[in-house]
Amino acid sequence: MKLCLALLLSLTFSALSQETKRLETLLMLPEPRVLRTERSITPEGAKKTVFSPAREITGIPGIETYTKEDFTRLGLSPETFAERSKKIADRLLASLKPDLLKDAQGKVQYAVYRGDRPIMACLIIAPALPQVFEEMFGKEIWVACPDRHSLFVFPAKPEAMEDFVADLAERFESDAHAASPEVFSLKKGEAPRVVATFDP
């Protein structure tokens, strides 16, 4: 009986540990500027987007920004939090594969990361992201994250996005947990920089 109880407790503890490991606590969440707090960081050139310190949670909507009190307990500045979250974003990026959407000639038009976890938009700060697509799209890529569950990657050309602007705008407008209506330029060694917007 004692052996069975010990085994049950061990399995329960193991399951809880695995669940805890799956929840990320150092994420920078792109969100509309109207939701900014004193802990949010404004990316270069952004007029409608901020990156806010956030963590995954087990309940709906699956991610939340830190309250002032909870953030204070971490003992980090927003800048230090953002720097550490880059490593988490890189780790998450390495574990995911994007869908590649091709034209009739088989050329990749764009790539998209999608998933049930509301962390896909957080990949935007991953330092490795431009390198992943360098061979495919060149040294600069343009990225859009209209909602928390997707991250779209395009070649850095306005014409590459023309056919998708309406869809991106609709995604942003219709999602209760929209992320950003802006397009970001990403280059190796540089922070995300806004180059365009796709909202009306």
pLDDT of the chain along its 200 residues, tens only? Answer: 444 444 344 444 444 443 445 799 999 999 999 999 999 999 999 999 999 999 999 988 999 999 999 999 999 999 999 999 999 999 999 999 999 999 999 999 999 999 999 999 999 999 999 999 999 999 999 999 999 999 999 999 999 999 999 999 999 999 999 999 999 999 999 999 999 999 76
Please give the Cα distance from 68 to 81 (Å, whole number).
14
Q: pTM for this one?
A: 0.87
Tokens of 76: 């980090």
Residue 180 near residue 146 (C-beta atoms within 8 A) = yes
Residue 67 near residue 162 (C-beta atoms within 8 A) = no
Please give the Cα distance from 45 to 195 (Å, whole number).
7
Tell me: cis bond preceding 32? Omega within 30 of 0 counts. no
* Helix, strand, coil in percent for the chain, rounding step 5: 40, 25, 35
Phi, psi of 98 (to 5 degrees): -80, 155
